[in-house]
Structure 1
Amino acid sequence: MAASADALLLFGSLQIDPHRRLVWKSGQAVELTPMEFDILLLLARRPGQVFSARQIYEAVATDSFDASWTGISSMIYKLRRKLGAGIIETVRGHGYKFVAPGTSPK
């Protein structure tokens, strides 16, 4: 089970290495903060599943007392700037979902 949790995630030109906590887009390393990485990994492990900001916060920030769940939208914004706007889609009134590059977002 642990081996599959650390397996490399491949989505077109996007590669996520959970074990080494590294991300590449089109072969170029993408610098992410620890929380940005955790958010991306949470969403990427369940493409298409919608997570509310509170669910994301509770999943990735359990030991971060200086952050709040309302700051998740800012982190999503930063991830979109680093990875491309189409990778994380806003589901109005519900939250966010990962859209694998090269697939239809709908």
Structure 2
Amino acid sequence: MTALASVADFSTVAATADAPLLFGSLQIDPQRRLVWQSGQMVALTPMEFEILLLLARWPGQVFSARQIYEAVAADSYDASWTGISSMVYKLRRKLGVHIIETVRGHGYRFTPK
């Protein structure tokens, strides 16, 4: 891993920070597990929400698919780390392609505009 200690550190931050996150027209409410874009609620699956929340809490930080999986889905029976790209694709369709950038060969990062 790079300069980041471990994926467990991300889970700890995710579990303790309940303040809404605001990025322009995008609002993420971790406590209520809701997302709005331009005032409209966006329906996300629980896994999509967790991925978005992880990436949004660390804007600009690149996460590999495996790191994302270990942070948000390791206990889930309906996901594998190879399915993360499919969930990122679905998030882009719901929120816009600019919201999550693919860093070829490394992973994904949240890039709000």
Taking structure 1 as the reference length, the TM-score comes to 0.90
Corresponding residue number in structure 1 for 2:101: 89
Matched to 2:88, the amino acid is I
Q: 1:38 aligns with which of 33, 37, 50?
A: 50
Runs of 4+ aligned residues of structure 1 deviating over 6 Å after TM superposition are none
In structure 2, what is the Cα distance between the partners aligned to 1:38 and 1:53?
13
Instruction: Give structure 2 stretches of 5+ with no counterpart.
Output: 1-12
Amino acid at match of 2:99: I
Give the RMSD, CA atoms, in angstroms.
1.5
CA apart distance, 1:65: 2.1
Residue 93 of structure 1 aligns to which amino acid in structure 2? G
Could you report, residue by residue, the CA deviation over 1:28-56 in whole angstroms, capped at 9, with x for unpaired residues? Answer: 00000000000000000000000000000
Provide the C-alpha distance between the structure 2 equivalents of 1:26 and 1:67, rounded to a whole number of angstroms: 30
Per-residue CA shift, 1:42-89, capped at 9, x if unaligned?
000000000000000000012112311000000000000000000000
Q: 1:18 aligns with which of 30, 38, 42?
A: 30
Give the letter for the 2:26 counterpart.
L
More helix by share: 2
Q: TM-score if structure 2 supplies the norm length?
A: 0.85
Cα distance in 2 for partners of 1:86, 1:39 equals 15
User: % of aligned pairs identical?
Assistant: 82
Aligned-partner SS, 1:86: helix
Question: Do structure 1's residue 8 and structure 2's residue 16 form an aligned pair?
Answer: no
